[in-house]
Structure 1
Amino acid sequence: MSITNKKYPGFPLLNKCKGILNIKKAQSADSSLTLTIELPPAAQKDSTRFLIQKENDPTPEQLSFCPLEDSSFLLDLSPLKEEVTFGKKVTFCFFIECIQDEEKQLYALKEETPPSVLADRYRMFAQNLWLSPSPDVLPVEYVGIAAGKVNMEDFFCAALCSRNHYLELSHSCNLRSFKMPRGKLRICFDLETGNYEYTKTELAFRSKLASDAAAYDFETISTKRRGNMLRVTALLDLNKIQWKSLYWGVDVHLKDSITGNTGKVSITMNTPFRMFLKFLYNRSLPGEKNFFLFPYYTATRKLAFTYREKNPYDGLDIVFKEFLSMFLYRIAKPYWKKKHILLVCEKFSSMAQDNGYYFFKHCMDKNEEAYLKKNIYYIITKDSPDRSKLAPYKDHVLDFMSIRHMCYLLAADLIVSSDSRYHTYPLQSRHSVFNRDIKKIPFVFLQHGVIALKCVDNFYGKGQKGGCDLFVVSTNAEKKIIVDNFGYEPEEVINTGLPRWDVLKDNSQGKREILIMPTWRNWLDSVPDKDFEESDYFRSYMSLLNSRRLADILEKYDLEINFYLHAKFQEYSDQFQSKSHRIHLISFGEVAVNEMLMRCRMLITDYSSVCWDVLYQDKPSLFYQFDLDKYDEAHGSYLDMKTELFGDRAENEEQLLTLLEEQIKNDFRLKPQYEEMRKSYFQFKDQAHSRHICEEIKEKLL
């Protein structure tokens, strides 16, 4: 019988425990932990073993320990320090194995009476573990802590995490007042300092790139001690800041009064503050052009700011529309639930040309509604260039942000999308409350590519904001990446291939087209036009599009190029120009991506997953990776870009053009080593990928 009603797939030993033993006392020192435990009757102390299981690792490790007096044990935790990983919290769960009546019995551990003071609850057994992903990035200090894990029913665990994360756990920091008149930000908060000293408050730009770092110090107006809390009032003139898009956070800096080590915490907002900010507070600071700055709270309830361009969904009117939809849904809830709604969409609910559309089209054409016993609807904006494709299914089309769309979203049994479930609704809406309902709807993630060239587990991982209930992949290698890195069980990851591959075939015969399709960069997301034009990304592709050598190659071999930006960068498409009549700059919606992929003889990309669509068709790709170091720092990859790609790669323009001419002379054939890689990748090439997905949905979710 399990000791818990909840499932913790990361710690399977919890399901094998006979019971729970109470920790009477816990005390840490450097690389060690002393636990006083009341063993069960008849347990043999000299045959006791301590085990520790790393999250998502099925094999537990035995801990060395020394028995002390009074049922105490000194545990050696030094091996845990070898598991420290940059950018990740590594968690372990403690277990004790006893011999009772000549049988081995396994127990989990909990503290009998956890300390009431947060700072005392988390025992530190390691510190000064400094890590950096590259010489260009400042190192981060990691520490080892042991405590009852709050989101795991207080089972006793250890973790290796950044000092900042430890401080967030062990030191509360709560907002008391907030004002922003005429751009003068004045905040007051209560800080639990413990053994730390308050040093300053800072507004910091959130970016993974060290080169993008920007921070501005508040002026500390006053500090007043109130018991174990310090009340701080701080002021910052927002009018003097050079704003960058997108996210800014408020950090409160602390220094350990004994060791001198430093860290920082964010400011937590309680429920009344969050409701005030969401429904009543509409002030903002105007920026350049149509940009503006406004406060919001993060998923972890922290005070933060967004600087971005305004959109039609930022007004308070969205609140009234949402409440009307919720009223209409709730007064007729039995009716809505009988409809058994399945919703399909693509990026921003503005497209019908990717996996979402082809899955929906298959379901309509093959009557999968009857098979799945669902009424299936497609969400799309009224002005979408792809809207005409949906004309044959007009009764199953929902106008994005109509009252009908909003009611159907509240009533949905399942969402199937090529992007996260939140693309069923505006991604950026200052006052919207619908996200809390959307996250409860079961979700099948079709993807819009193959995951390998970009690390996205921090968003699409299980339990993360973009997490799902069923994860579609296209190769066994990709499935291994998802299971190993995203926290999903193998049965939650289905290797069916992508729906758009149902219609994917090589239509390049008689055509002389090359497709250039770069992906996006998160450090350029929603930046002003001026900043985009000064980026290496823009300058590198503008140089390529206007290269004299490239123009000569196109003339010599009678070729043309279609250049297509990622959807997230379409707002900058007008900035790109080319003098060559053989280079065509394709705007979003002008030509379907699938059509360009089928027409091209080959692909030039950087890190885009569309390279898998091209490989599926037995056509070559070249990888133009002029900013690999910066990309690795900001995004990362599950493959070694220098050794594991299925195409040649270039780091500068001259290398790229040399490889391009070589590929042209080879009549656009895959090189033998890449042909062998292609054969090993794909499980299905039967152009029935949507059907396989329907079968998996019915088996696993319905």
Structure 2
Amino acid sequence: MSRLKNFIKHSDLIGNIYFQIMRCILALLSHVVSVRSKQILLTSYSGRQYSDSPKAIYLMLKADPEFKDYTFLWGFQRPGEFPEIPENEKLSIDSFRYFIKLLQSRYWISNTSIERLIPFKNAEHIYINSWHGIPLKHLGPDEAHLEFLPRNWYRKVSFDLLLSSGQYDHDIFKHIFPNTKQIKITGLPRNYELVTTSDHEKEAIKQRVVQQLGLDPNKKSILYAPTFREYQQVAGHNDFKVPFDDDFFRRMNEKYNFIFRGHYFVERTENSDHIFDASKYPDLNELFISTDLLITDYSSLVFDAALLEKPIILYLYDLEEYRKLRGFYRDPEELNLPKSYSQQELEQQIGVSLSNTYELSIEHEFNHEYNQRLDLDYKAIKSLLKK
């Protein structure tokens, strides 16, 4: 199924045909499917996960007495992988029934495209999108080689509310989503946990992660979370090769728990036998909380992790290639964070960043530059859901 979806998505001709057919089908269905005023449909990362800001919003609404008589539905690629969601709330996102339920639902909540890259929302639908991070790399109209389906979606999608963390991402979203009705600096719901969890709760989370991943509790933990490189697709699969050799892994594993978290688009990971693979771990915030250092590159999660004001290193081993093929809104070399360009430099910087004398002043400044709203404007979300 994933290869078929990639084929449709990455072919302009097939993507255009798919779009025209689906648009006609959905237009016809919209005349016979009635919208239910108290039904909310949610997805996270196009149905791959139960996570991120849609999950945070869902849990807030479920705990709010004003929404006790609302129906909640989740779209998943593999519904059976999420036993924590009641069976009557789960849908297969690749089914015809999913589109029927989407048309029925007055409220849509997602962090990517809930409508499977077919922008068809009508006037009765309320679409709230949290996006999935503060953009560092180019998106949508600024991607040089973006295919028809996503390019068309960025141009035409109409969010009623798009959430942002500060003026920086607010202005980028205004550019890449020109039909959005309202962009509001609310803070990202997924990050509320990072700034409100107590030290006692954090310690309990750390112990749980250590146990579930089989980590050594006497070692410090490093989280390596690189972004997606769409130009590395091999035979229709999204692959990622972990860019370290065996000697590096051996030295790291002698001192630390070295944890890998792959991007949600990555289907296959090469050279990951020597590390703890937490790509399927259900809660990224728990990984942030329980580790001592983040290594990333061009990923937006650098802005989320900064909320904890722990050491961060940008590993920019392929910067020139990524800059040429994808591009940035803000060049990583301009970010006020430690940077490494080779394994040797990275290993040295890890030692510095995890030393007892390391000062976190630059992480503090970086956090407050991009995360201008550290609380959460739940009222802005709730007001639309009561509209």
TM range (shorter): 0.7 to 0.9
Give the aligned partner of residue 675 of structure 1: 364
Query: Which residue in 2 is equivalent to 1:576?
Result: 271
Residue 664 and residue 466 in structure 1: after superposition, are their counterparts in 2 closer, same or farther (change >3 A)? farther
- Mapped to 2, the partners of 1:695 and 1:639 lie a distance apart of 32
Verify: 1:618 aligned to 2:302, yes or no. Answer: no
How far apart, in 2, do the equivalents of 1:485 and 1:246 lie? 19
Partner of 1:390: 85
Match 1:520 to one of 198, 220, 228: 228
8 A Cα contact 2:164 2:183, kept in partner: yes
Consecutive unaligned residues of structure 1, counting only runs of 5 or more, are: 1-243, 250-293, 302-315, 428-434
- 1:352 aligned partner, one-letter code: Y
The amino acid that maps onto 1:351 is Q
Richer in strand (by share): 1
Retained in 1: the 8 A contact 2:165–2:187?
Answer: yes
Indicate which of 259, 281, 297 corresponds to 2:16: 297
- Separation in 2, partners of 1:398, 1:450: 29
Q: 1:326 to 1:667 in 2, by over 3 A?
A: farther
Instruction: Check the 8 A contact 1:474/1:496 in 2, yes or no.
Output: yes
Distance in 1, matches of 2:327 and 2:282, equals 30
Query: Mapping of 1:449-528 within 5 angstroms?
Result: 449-458=133-142, 464-466=155-157, 468-483=159-174, 486-487=177-178, 492-504=182-194, 505=197, 507=202, 512-525=220-233, 527-528=235-236
1:525–1:568: 8 Å Cα contact kept in structure 2? Answer: no
Question: 1:494–1:696: 8 Å Cα contact kept in structure 2?
Answer: no
**3-state secondary structure, aligned to 1:471:** strand
Unaligned runs of 5+ in 2: 1-6, 143-149, 208-216
1:360–1:378 CA contact under 8 A, matched in 2:
no
Q: Determine the C-alpha separation between the residues in 1 that align with 2:168 and 2:366.
A: 11
Number of paired residues? 354
Q: Is it true that 1:601 corresponds to 2:297 in the alignment?
A: no
Contact 1:351-1:384 within 8 A present in 2 as well: no
Shift in Å, 1:366:
1.7
Q: Which among 252, 257, 269 is matched to residue 560 of structure 1?
A: 257
Contact 2:225 2:294 in 1 (8 A): yes
**Match 1:422 to one of 98, 111, 115:** 115
**Paired letter, 1:445:** N
Is the CA contact 2:294–2:312 (under 8 Å) kept in the aligned structure 1?
yes
Residues 165-195 of structure 1 show CA distances to partners (whole Å, capped at 9, x for unaligned) of: xxxxxxxxxxxxxxxxxxxxxxxxxxxxxxx
Give the aligned partner of residue 106 of structure 2: 413
Report what 1:356 is aligned to.
54
Note closer, same or farther for the CA distance 1:526–1:357 as it changes in structure 2 (3 Å cut): farther
Larger of the two Rg values belongs to structure: 1
Give the match for residue 278 of structure 2.
586
Q: Which amino acid aligns with 1:681?
A: Y
* Secondary structure at 2:61 match in 1: helix
Match of 1:379 in 2: 75
Give the equivalent residue in structure 1 for 2:322: 631
Distance 1:485 1:492, change over 3 A: same
What is the DSSP-based 3-state SS (H/G/I as helix, E as strand, rest coil) of the residue aligned with 1:422? coil
Measure, in 1, the Cα distance between the counterparts of 2:278 and 2:307. Answer: 23
Change (3 A) 1:381 1:523: closer
Instruction: Report percent identity of matched pairs.
Output: 18
State the 1:485 CA deviation: 6.0
Structure 1 partner of 2:211: none
Instruction: Please list, as runs of the form range in 1=range in 2, the aligned pairs for 1:275-354 lying within 5 A after superposition.
Output: 295=14, 297=16, 333=33, 336-354=34-52
Counterpart amino acid of 1:450?
A: I
Structure 1 residue 468: Cα displacement? 2.6
| Counterpart contact for 1:409–1:438, Cα < 8 Å | no
- Cα distance between partner residues in 1 of 2:249 and 2:132: 30
* Alpha-carbon offset, residue 696 of structure 1: 5.5
Q: Is the 8 A contact 1:369 1:376 kept in 2?
A: no
Cα distance in 2, alignment partners of residues 528 and 463 from structure 1? 23
Compared CA separation, residues 611 and 413, structure 1 to 2 (3 A):
same
TM-score normalized by the length of structure 2? 0.76
* Structure 1 residue 587: Cα displacement: 4.1
Deviation per residue, 1:113-145 (Å, 9 max, x gap) = xxxxxxxxxxxxxxxxxxxxxxxxxxxxxxxxx
Q: What RMSD in Å do the two structures reach over aligned CA positions?
A: 3.8
**Structure 2 residue 341 is matched with structure 1 residue 651:** yes
Give the TM-score, by structure 1 length. Answer: 0.45
Question: How far did residue 629 of structure 1 move?
Answer: 1.8
How far 1:298 sits from its partner (Å)? 6.1
- The alpha carbon displacement at 1:655 in A equals 1.5
Alpha carbons 2:225, 2:263 under 8 Å: kept: yes
Question: 1:38-49 maps to which residues of 2 (within 5 A)?
Answer: none
| Residues 410 and 437, structure 1, Cα contact 8 Å, conserved in 2 | no
| 1:462 to 1:437, Cα distance in 2 relative to 1, 3 A | closer
